[in-house]
């Protein structure tokens, strides 16, 4: 070697965000779900699991939180529209955790790398939200239909955006 420090190669990855944004998004989604689905002492446990999941996504904290949220949903006196939010939120938690576990906190995440996960989220949520709305109707929660219609519309709009992005390539 001639005494010079080798220059690290630089790669163009296109539009990107700091990887810590994944952990922040994970924490925000978890906080909304904890506030919506948990009551009493389980809130504190949910908050603790949220903190651990956001800081250390490779631990099992997210999966324990998802189990706790499912228990909280099951203990609700009347299910209604929180079911639809829980379906989307828990799925989003799983996707964000998988992404956050794969990308170092100090790294950057190319937005193009998120598209396959986003596509999968939308493709699963369309039938899941429809089935959730059917369950609510069958259980006599007709008041949840406007919320289900809005949630379904948002999911379909997301699918339309994904298809438009695919066509634009």
Q: Domain limits at 130?
A: 16-168
Is 147 within a domain? yes
Please report which confidence band the pLDDT of residue 3 belongs to, taking 50, 70 and 90 as the band edges: low
Q: What is the pLDDT of residue 91?
A: 94
Is 65 within a domain? yes
Is 87 within a domain? yes
Segment 15-46, tens digit of pLDDT: 888 989 999 999 999 999 999 999 998 999 99
Is 68 within a domain? yes
- On whether the CB atoms of residues 82 and 141 are closer than 8 A, the answer is no
Is 1 within a domain? no
Q: What is the pLDDT of residue 8?
A: 66
The partner residues of 17 in beta bridges, in order of sequence, read: 109
Is 2 within a domain? no
The two three-digit tokens of residue 49, written as one number: 């699991």
Number of structural domains (the chain) is: 1
- Which pTM value belongs to this model? 0.78
To the nearest 10°, report the CA torsion of 156, 157, 161, 166: 20
Averaged pLDDT, 114-125 = 87
Percentage of the chain beyond pLDDT 90 is: 41
| 118 has a pLDDT exceeding 90 | no
CB-based burial of residue 128 (10 Å sphere; 0-12 exposed, 13-18 middle, 19+ buried)?
Answer: middle
d(CA 99, CA 123): 18
- On whether the CB atoms of residues 126 and 83 are closer than 8 A, the answer is no
CA angle 92, 29, 49 (to 5 degrees): 100
- On whether the CB atoms of residues 129 and 148 are closer than 8 A, the answer is yes
């Amino acid at each position: 070697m001639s005494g010079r420090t080798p220059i690290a190669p630089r790669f163009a990855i296109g539009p990107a965000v700091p990887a810590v944004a994944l952990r922040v998004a994970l924490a925000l989604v978890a906080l909304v779900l904890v506030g919506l689905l948990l009551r009493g002492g389980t809130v504190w446990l949910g908050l603790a699991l949220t903190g651990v999941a956001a800081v250390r996504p490779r631990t099992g904290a997210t999966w324990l939180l998802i189990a706790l949220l499912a228990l909280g949903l099951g203990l609700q006196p009347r299910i209604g529209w929180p079911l639809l939010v829980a379906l989307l939120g828990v799925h989003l938690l799983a996707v964000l955790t998988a992404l956050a576990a794969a990308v170092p906190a100090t790294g950057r995440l190319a937005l193009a790398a998120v598209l396959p996960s986003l596509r999968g989220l939308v493709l699963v949520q369309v039938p899941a939200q429809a089935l959730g709305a059917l369950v609510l109707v069958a259980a006599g929660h007709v008041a949840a239909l406007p919320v289900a219609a809005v949630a379904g519309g948002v999911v379909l709009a997301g699918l339309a955006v994904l298809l438009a992005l695919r066509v634009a390539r």
